[in-house]
Chains A and B, each alone.
Chain A
Amino acid sequence: DIQMTQSPSSLSASVGDRVTITCRASQGISNSLAWYQQAPGKHPKLLISAASTLQSGVPSRFSGSGSGTDFALTITSLQPEDVATYYCQKYNSAPLTFGGGTKVEIK
């Protein structure tokens, strides 16, 4: 089975900072990669599909990139409402594995 490895596991940044989270697949998955945001106490919310397609209503400061095995989620200007845990997920075929998560906090 393909493993998904996220880094870092947590980060602390200032409001307005650029933040990048990476996700690596143990085998190539083309662009079948999604990113989710889970705010504290809430259910996950889909941010990005197909590695770089922003979902409707998601702020443009979020962007995704990558293909094959290496992917990234970037927040260009971190806002207080972005405090959450972020997960990547491969979805080309079962098992539909998630990465371990990256907890983002405000410094």
Chain B
Amino acid sequence: EEQLVESGGGLVKPGGSLRLSCAASGFTFSRSSMNWVRQAPGKGLEWVSVISSTGSYIYYADSVKGRFIISRDNAQNSLYLQMNSLRVEDTAVYYCARAGPAAIRGSGYFDYWGHGILVTVSS
């Protein structure tokens, strides 16, 4: 069974840093593009970043560009999101999501989702 499990969330002060992890199992992680999606409390879904299967293609939403870094370790079946210079408006549940089998170069719909992890940025 395909599974994505996020970890590393919590409370951080504005300007601080946090690193999220996503552990994948039940599918061939090394062949899958992976994404981070977030949802602020009571708000809609916001795509954050994508990394292709080999890491050759990486894209970010304008709202996080220059502050967040997506990376992956295919040997460990893990996806990461390094979040720096955090702002109050980054408070959200962060989901890890797999792009479907036809995804190339950072495209693709999301067929598997994790349950999400809460990041709270507050003083």
Taking beta carbons and an 8 Å cutoff, which residues of A are in contact with B? 1, 32, 34, 36, 38, 43-46, 49, 55, 85, 87, 89, 91-101
How many angstroms from the CA of A45 to the CA of B37 in the assembled complex?
13
B side interface size, CB within 8 A = 25
How many angstroms from the CA of A92 to the CA of B110 in the assembled complex?
12
Q: Establish whether residues A34 and B106, one from each chain, have CB atoms under 8 Å apart when the complex forms.
A: no
Q: Establish whether residues B46 and A98, one from each chain, have CB atoms under 8 Å apart when the complex forms.
A: yes
Give the tally of cross-chain contacts (CB within 8 A): 65
Sample 14 A-B pairs with CB under 8 A, ordered by A number: A1-B62, A32-B107, A43-B95, A43-B116, A44-B37, A44-B95, A46-B111, A87-B45, A96-B35, A96-B47, A96-B107, A96-B108, A98-B45, A99-B44
Closest to A1 in B: B62
